[in-house]
Chains A and B, each alone.
Chain A
Amino acid sequence: MRPSGYLELLIVAVLVVLAALFPLVGSNLHIGVGLDMMMFAALAISWALFSGPTHYISLATAAFYGLGGLIVAMGMADYELPFWLMIAVAALAGGVLAALIGLATLRLTGVYFVIFTLGLAEMIRNLVSWIQNNFLGSHGFLIFSDFRDQHYYWMLLAVVAVVYLLGWVINRSRLGFALRIIGNDETVARHVGINTAMAKVILFTTTGFFAALVGAIVAPRWSYIEANQVFSPHISFLVVIMALLGGTTRLWAPIVGVVPFLLIWNWINGNLPNQSTLFIGVAFLLIVYVLPHGVVGRLEQLRSKIREGRS
């Protein structure tokens, strides 16, 4: 609808190409950091597709990410199925799981939704662990792969690009408008004729699909994968904090949270490894007290204030 929308896509396309060239010049250490950034960018942007406009904070990312990882590991280790087939299966499974969770949580709002998604992710983790220990006779899977860090980096970059494009399309569609209305007032949304349940399930399914896809892509990198690790709730919280730190008012806003957070995160893990939880807490306080709409939301506020001041 707006011409600036196409300009935005062009800028993003150029940035994607530049990002794709990075592994050719960066050192292995830098590629490793870049890989983490791509992974969290993909997770945070796809998380924000649903949670940004609707304000439904989902802590179920680990469930999809873990499911994706585990499906790839199982397929490759136990059945020697190809990686490419398994990531497709994993992403679809993530989508199906998200649709089921979405249907089950339709009537939950606010804090009940948050706790339900967290509880569900933990339940799946324990269930999978229990099945593995009692019926599959092992704790985890060994996976071998020829991929190197730059390959993961490129695959994750492709996911980021696809998620971004999809988000761009959704934001310009009826569905995107419907989600903004739902986030503002669900009662009004229903009374203007929006099928709120359908809109929420579609977006939550999309989020689950991509989180599982990301988990699936990075699965071989673990070498040895077990449920407790790959379903760790840590990842759900990290995604939420990074996305909220950047903001959710723009599609690219979560990246503004991902990059600085991971740089500090890596430094803390290297130098003060016992303080990482403290850092998460401080970041969370910062968001709640200083940046309720994220860094990008704060900058936009400042910009509109300056404009008002001029006129």
Chain B
Amino acid sequence: MSPTGTPILRVRGVTKRFGGLVAVNDMSFDVGNHEMVGVIGPNGSGKTTMMNMISGVFRPSAGRITMRGRRLSGMPAQNIARVGVGRTFQLVRLLPGLTVLENVMAGAVFGHSRRWGGDAVDIAHDMLDRVGLDAMADAPVSALTYIDQKRVELARALAGEPEVLLLDEWLAGLNPTELETGIDLIHALRDEGRTVILVEHVMDAIRALCDRCVVMSSGAKIAEGTPDEVLSDREVIRAYLGDDDA
């Protein structure tokens, strides 16, 4: 199934080998403009490695990743960020020595939009407000709860005004109430028409949020389609639960 609208990001034949281990094997998929695509799969199926190749942590061993025709694979992470890919990390990474506001400003100052001075402060406040955390702007990050730390990280990614946003298990580790808040927040991003790739384990979130899903198992793509289609796919169920239950 092809994406709705024009593809903005194309992944073609991407492979990543770590020594003898093939973590990602010949992955290809497209992401359309304003589309929310889920990358799902069992633990260790190579989802985060795939994200890391898009954001430039790793260089693919083979294949290419392009955004609006521009080749991202091979670029250093800072250039990919400037071209317009923003991300959050699987394990939250905040800057502990900086205030909440400064953490978000980091995204605005050096990212895709490259603002400075009052302009950067304004957008940082806007984004904190967006994730519902502006009251904490001057607090140290050590004063934040886990979900609030995740909010700050999301605000930092948004502050760079990325064209494509990567959320790596942004909902993981939240309690049921927080999860609801989190899903609403990402849903609001979707309503704004943002282009998002999310790696996720929470099935409710995938059903509620994703236009399309790419399912990975052992580094390769095993299915692609709407959440309902892929979640009822026999191959997908086998990948998650094993042969006996399929």
Contact = CB atoms under 8 A, between A and B. Distances in A.
A77 to B, nearest CB: 47
Interface in B96-123: 96-98, 102, 105-107, 109-112, 114, 116-117
Contacts of A190: 56, 76-78, 81
A180 interface: yes
A129 interface: no
Nearest to B107: A192
Contacts, number: 66
Contact of A185 (B81, B93, B102, B110): B93
Nearest to A178: B110
Given A181-B106, A187-B93, A192 B98 contact: no
Interface string A172-211: 0010011011011101111111111000000000000000
Contacts of B95: 180-181, 184-185, 188
A1 interface: yes
Contacts of B98: 180-181, 184
A237 B107 CA distance: 36
A177 B97 contact: no
A248 to B, nearest CB: 12
A185 to B, nearest CB: 6
Given A1-B117, A181-B106, A188-B106, A193 B111 contact: yes
Interface SS of chain A: helix
B212 interface: no
B221 interface: no
B81 A191 contact: yes
What interface size band does chain B fall in? 20 to 34
Given A1-B117, A177-B106, A193 B112 contact: yes
Interface string B43-59: 00000000000011100
B87 to A, nearest CB: 6
B82 interface: yes
Contacts of B160: 192-193
Contacts of B77: 190-191
B108 to A, nearest CB: 9
What interface size band does chain A fall in? 10 to 19
B156 interface: yes
Given A184-B97, A185-B93, A192 B106 contact: yes
A177 B120 CA distance: 12
A1 B138 CA distance: 16
Nearest to A249: B97
Given A193-B81, A195-B78, A174 B110 contact: yes
Contacts of B105: 177
A192 B97 contact: no
Contacts of A178: 110
Nearest to B156: A192
Interface string B40-80: 00000000000000011100000000000000000011110
Q: Which of A178, A183, A185 has the most CB of B within 10 A?
A: A185
Contacts of B96: 184
A307 to B, nearest CB: 13
Given A178-B110, A192-B156, A192-B160, A183 B81 contact: no
Given A190-B77, A192-B160, A193-B160, A183 B110 contact: no
Q: Which of B76, B78, B81, B89 has the most CB of A within 10 A?
A: B78
B93 A188 contact: yes
Contact of B82 (A185, A187, A193): A193
A208 B55 CA distance: 34
A67 to B, nearest CB: 32
A183 B116 CA distance: 20
Interface string B140-163: 000000000000000010001000
A193 B156 CA distance: 12
Nearest to B88: A191
Contacts of B93: 185, 187-188
Q: Which of B56, B93, B97, B117 has the most CB of A within 10 A?
A: B97
B97 A180 contact: yes
A261 B57 CA distance: 44
Contact of B78 (A174, A180, A183, A193): A193
Contacts of A174: 109-110, 116
Contacts of A181: 95, 98, 106, 110
Nearest to B166: A191
Given A177-B105, A190-B81, 13 more contacts: A1-B117, A174-B116, A177-B106, A181-B110, A188-B89, A188-B106, A189-B78, A191-B55, A191-B78, A191-B81, A192-B110, A192-B160, A193-B78
16 contacts: A174-B116, A177-B106, A180-B95, A188-B94, A188-B95, A189-B78, A190-B76, A190-B78, A191-B78, A192-B107, A192-B109, A192-B156, A193-B79, A193-B114, A194-B110, A195-B78
Interface of B: 55-57, 76-79, 81-82, 87, 89, 93-98, 102, 105-107, 109-112, 114, 116-117, 156, 160
Enumerate the 3 nearest inter-chain pairs by beta-carbon distance, A residue then B residue, closest first.
A193-B81, A184-B95, A193-B110
